[in-house]
Structure 1
Amino acid sequence: MHMKQYKLLEQVFVKIRNIGDVINELCYGRPLVADGMDRIHTLQEIRQEIIESEIVAEAIKASLSNKSKLGDWEVANLHCISRLHRTLKNVPADLLSALTTARIDCRNRWLLFREGSESAKNVMERLVDVVKLSSEVAQIKSGDLGLASKYDVMLKMHDGDMDTKRIDEVFTDLGAFYRQFFSEVLEKQSGSKIHLAKSITCEKQRLLHEYLEASIYASDVSLIDVHRKDYGCSIFRCEDFGGVSCDELDYRVGLRGALDNIGRTLYCVNLPKRWRRQPVGDFPGSVMFEAQGMLMSRHLLMDSRFMSFVLPAMKKTFSLRGKVADSGNVHRYLSEVRPELLLERADEVSSLAHVMLRCALEKELINGDLAVEDLPDAWEQGVKYYFNQVTKTEQEGLLQDDYWVSGCFGYLPSKVLGAIAATQIFSYIDDPKVAVLENIESGDFSGLTAWLSKYIYSHGGRYSSTTLLKKITGRRIDVDAYKNHLVNRYLSM
């Protein structure tokens, strides 16, 4: 009887996932059909009715009471189902519909703003609604889940291991370290000469990215199987995969983006297929997801063995010659730190400031301590504090990307926690005793991908992000290890 109830839950949550996938296509497909919003609202109501069903609640309760009769993976899936159920229930349908409408409208206005056919003022007016409605949902869920603040709700939507207390501890530690460290790095690098490449077309850059994809994915990975963790306009949603940006005068932007996507794609492709449509078959949260991209874009990229592998292809594809093509020059170029005002283009160091600033501001927005109309001034103060600069255009400011206009609050802190986790994981696998990086110089990534598949990908959501990190490295989020990494990379080289 109890096994039947668990199997019912498996069937129900496949349906919930499928509905979410369709909602996602309607929300973010191009273009949104004339009656698309009505369809989205109808599907959301259907999904919410399923989630709120007494049958589902009773099946979860009965299954939890008799989980000793289930296998290990089934128990893990049951706990994932229970967490997802608690997260999604008790949100009024009309509030969810209003939030979805506001988010889509605000993001669409932002897209027009980015093209130059909409004013920042109009985008900000709609952002007021997005913040207000997001805060209302978070208020309901904070009481429902027994969380300390509305911002805690946002954080836990993306990763159950994130909460305000933990984020504040990490960012207080990093904040005390950051400004002096940033100044010391800029001073140290000011004496280093970097020879810049001439303009490199996006087509040539894409050729290198495709070469890296082919080399790292290898023949045992089928990209057809790629699926992504969709928030599907559920309550809060963030884009996990974006197109790789291209700057013809700075190939680092595209190279980092390509490696980031490679790491994330490998993760999604190699999640446990038996549990693919179940909650436990997904990654445990945004922290470990971000870590997989950063393993590639921040650590593999800067590894001397990888550089020996990729440099000949870079020289050939980009037509690099002379001092520009020197391995030392390329390394200095890739490790250059500067006060970059665009998060998308930011290096490993300046991106920390971006996330710390945004986390502080969005926490105040959601908790009701900062009004949207005061956000531009607060943003400028933060830019001045961290970078000692002022934004020159509206495109450099708080509307530079679509996190906030899409209602994606609480996601960005996972980029810092993910960076710390990636540092710990790479440090572990860089040990000669682990021996998974030794063949990279010859273009053989099978040791690396096999290790990642065995120790990270294959677990899906069976363990939380930090529990999985501890199983691998013996430590949860270790800020000191991350600070030591930054000092060693940028001040000891």
Structure 2
Amino acid sequence: MTTGTSDRDAGDESGAPPAPYARLLEEYRRVANVRNASGVLSWDQQVMMPEGGTPARAQQLSTLSSLSHDLLADDAVSDALAELDGAERGSAGGRTGSGTAADLTDAQSAAVREIRRKHERAAAVPTELIEEISTTASEALPAWKEAKAEDDFETFAPYLREHVELKREYAEHVDPDRDPYEVLFEDFEPCLSLDRAEDILTAMRETLVPMIDEIRASETDLATDAFTSLGTYAADEQEALCRDVLSTLGYPWERGRLDTAPHPFSTGTTFDARVTTRFDESDPLGSLLSTVHEFGHATYTLGLPDEHYGTPLGEDRDLSVHESQSRLWENHVGRSAAFWEHFLPTLVEQFPKAADVTPREAYEAANQVYEDNLIRTEADELTYHLHILVRFEIERALIAGDLDVDDVPAVWNDKYEAYLGVRPETDAAGCLQDIHWSHGNFGYFPTYSLGSAMAAQLYHAADADIADLDRDVAAGDFDALHEWLTERVHRHGARYETNDLVEAATGEPFTADAFLEYVTAKYGALYDLDSV
């Protein structure tokens, strides 16, 4: 049985808060609203904006980026934090400090902690640099799209080079005495050290690499072509299927929408969380599982408490936790045998050609371990993490100055051959496949694997708490799982730091153990491995 948290710990704010705390939240809400408005413009640029809109959009996003930065670094925030100094430094079990600090609840102290962290980081970086990073990202996005479409890395290379230089400068302003990549990683995962993250990633790699080798040597035949052998699947019909799966999982359409984008993503707030997907007409599973993945992000965002919108108590904990939600729904639900017992008839209704596919065959097709896949977002559950390793190593080398941008395609291809046994024939299928570097998001990729490990630990705990979760999934009943995740994860916002959140939800510190046990059992059974 896992442990829960009291209402007070979760964010009870009964009674009038101290005046400096109220002022601090007022200032922070302005920051949050500017950033959320920027998010809508960014969504539009990737989904709906006409191609010619880039020059204006670059200026708009740059202005909003500098405005949110200046608001966060403003003296008004600094002054309120100074009055509350020490309020967030006590234990989670009680009030600390004196004067106004003593009047803060645990949840309020956590909000002060989060705002202080962001304020100190913002105050260290010049506004002009923030504007330049934003402008570069806006201009890099269409360049990346063109480069990918034309298989022409040289079109994107100047923007990648500029991003690397700007992010090195950014890291130097934040902390010139530390590894710049470590500083950048903290933008996405501020609560786990890079060393701790690498320990978890290493444990995953040491189990996955020999397991993948054993699977590739296995003589077990899975129904890998259960869907791909049946012809093509029209994009508009796949979109209808993706809408069906979102409805099945419980996506509230009054607070969201589904669109297409070159790279699937989710964005928004607790009132408006949108998802995107893309289609491959040869295989409906790609768009389906991508949609389920983005649903996981959206359901986390939608599960944040409405009443704390615009404050850290109404914001996600950061990307490792966010990725845990997407990977949980994609892998532990969408790739489960129970899910295919329920959802296969819906797929067949949309695509009658699949009428002879059995739930077992659908399950096997969704869980095949590829020998020749080049694309991360289409990767299986195991080799996915080797895709992450390639990106992690390349961007660390770029930021450290150990790799020149011009050499990225060759190094990428060499690493794919070494780690995955395949070599991209084009840069479009190689180093240009992901959107993240066009945004300048160095340090993001490790959170995918960290999120996968966290997802397994959370799902294991949920399965122990919910009477028959497998039966619920097979029946298309996801209410209990939604409630468990909302109660244990979503409703806390950024109240807990990462490890504390996982421990509060599961009763155990965050490790890779549950993930390794899960994949060993699942894929050992699928491929009849001797090691299981």
Unpaired runs of 5+ residues, structure 2, are 1-15, 87-99, 259-265, 527-532
2:368 is aligned to: 336
2:434 partner letter: D
Q: TM-score, normalised by structure 1?
A: 0.90
Cα offsets for 1:111-161 (capped at 9, x unmatched): 122333x83212112211111111110121124xx7x31111211101212
Q: CA deviation at 1:173?
A: 2.4
Residue 51 (structure 1) aligned with residue 78 (structure 2) = no
Q: CA deviation at 1:385?
A: 0.8
2:297 is aligned to: 264
**Among 21, 25, 50, which residue is 1:10 paired with?**
25
Change (3 A) 1:153 1:307: same
Whole-Å separation in 2 of the counterparts to 1:468 and 1:154: 22
1:217 is aligned to: 250
Q: CA deviation at 1:388?
A: 1.7
Whole-Å separation in 1 of the counterparts to 2:399 and 2:440: 11
Whole-Å separation in 2 of the counterparts to 1:464 and 1:438: 33
Q: CA deviation at 1:413?
A: 0.6
1:75 is aligned to: 109
Q: Is the Cα contact below 8 Å between 1:2 and 1:63 reproduced in 2?
A: no
Q: Is the Cα contact below 8 Å between 2:304 and 2:314 reproduced in 1?
A: yes
- Matches of residues 338-357 of structure 1 in structure 2 within 5 Å? 338=370, 339-357=372-390
Q: CA deviation at 1:389?
A: 1.8
More off after superposition, 119-128 vs 184-193: 184-193
1:237 is aligned to: none
Q: Is the Cα contact below 8 Å between 2:303 and 2:486 reproduced in 1?
A: yes
1:399 partner letter: L
Q: CA deviation at 1:259?
A: 1.0
Change (3 A) 1:119 1:275: same
More off after superposition, 407-416 vs 12-21: 12-21
Q: CA deviation at 1:162?
A: 3.4
Partner SS state of residue 397, structure 2: helix
1:235 is aligned to: none
Q: CA deviation at 1:475?
A: 2.3
Q: CA deviation at 1:374?
A: 2.3
Q: CA deviation at 1:14?
A: 0.9
1:73 partner letter: A
Cα offsets for 1:331-379 (capped at 9, x unmatched): 2111101131111211111111010111111112112222212222221
1:236 is aligned to: none
Cα offsets for 1:217-246 (capped at 9, x unmatched): 177x8425999468xxxxxxxxx9762121
Partner SS state of residue 280, structure 2: coil
2:318 is aligned to: 285
Q: CA deviation at 1:321?
A: 4.7
Whole-Å separation in 2 of the counterparts to 1:152 and 1:75: 26
Whole-Å separation in 2 of the counterparts to 1:33 and 1:478: 43
Change (3 A) 1:67 1:224: farther
2:3 is aligned to: none
Q: CA deviation at 1:33?
A: 6.2
**Among 86, 99, 104, which residue is 2:120 paired with?**
86
1:130 partner letter: H
Change (3 A) 1:317 1:485: same
More off after superposition, 417-426 vs 72-81: 72-81
Change (3 A) 1:161 1:225: farther
2:280 partner letter: D
**Among 172, 175, 191, which residue is 2:205 paired with?**
175
Q: Is the Cα contact below 8 Å between 2:332 and 2:459 reproduced in 1?
A: yes
Q: Is the Cα contact below 8 Å between 1:437 and 1:448 reproduced in 2?
A: no
Unpaired runs of 5+ residues, structure 1, are 231-239
Q: TM-score, normalised by structure 2?
A: 0.83
2:131 is aligned to: 97
Q: CA deviation at 1:193?
A: 4.7
Q: Is the Cα contact below 8 Å between 2:85 and 2:101 reproduced in 1?
A: yes
Whole-Å separation in 2 of the counterparts to 1:122 and 1:159: 31
- Matches of residues 58-457 of structure 1 in structure 2 within 5 Å? 58-65=79-86, 66-116=100-150, 119-143=152-176, 148-188=178-218, 191-197=221-227, 198=230, 199-217=232-250, 222-223=254-255, 228=267, 243-321=276-354, 324-338=356-370, 339-431=372-464, 434-457=467-490
Whole-Å separation in 1 of the counterparts to 2:206 and 2:257: 43
Partner SS state of residue 243, structure 1: strand
Q: CA deviation at 1:177?
A: 2.7
Whole-Å separation in 2 of the counterparts to 1:137 and 1:277: 26
Q: CA deviation at 1:6?
A: 1.2
Whole-Å separation in 2 of the counterparts to 1:42 and 1:262: 30
Change (3 A) 1:365 1:332: same
Change (3 A) 1:412 1:136: same
Change (3 A) 1:375 1:163: farther
Q: Is the Cα contact below 8 Å between 2:327 and 2:451 reproduced in 1?
A: yes
**Among 482, 491, 494, which residue is 1:458 paired with?**
491
Partner SS state of residue 159, structure 1: coil
Q: Is the Cα contact below 8 Å between 2:39 and 2:267 reproduced in 1?
A: no
Identity, % of aligned pairs? 21
Cα offsets for 1:380-420 (capped at 9, x unmatched): 22111111221111211111121112201111111001001
Whole-Å separation in 2 of the counterparts to 1:12 and 1:225: 30
Whole-Å separation in 2 of the counterparts to 1:40 and 1:190: 52
Partner SS state of residue 108, structure 2: helix
Change (3 A) 1:189 1:22: farther
Q: Is the Cα contact below 8 Å between 1:80 and 1:280 reproduced in 2?
A: no
2:367 partner letter: S
Q: Is the Cα contact below 8 Å between 2:192 and 2:498 reproduced in 1?
A: no
Cα offsets for 1:195-237 (capped at 9, x unmatched): 4332222232222222222222177x8425999468xxxxxxx
2:415 partner letter: G
Q: CA deviation at 1:36?
A: 4.4
Whole-Å separation in 2 of the counterparts to 1:363 and 1:84: 23
More off after superposition, 450-459 vs 39-48: 39-48
2:190 partner letter: G
**Equivalences, count:** 478
1:233 is aligned to: none
Change (3 A) 1:321 1:19: closer
Cα offsets for 1:11-63 (capped at 9, x unmatched): 11111122223334455632536544444444444433333333321211212
Whole-Å separation in 2 of the counterparts to 1:472 and 1:346: 29
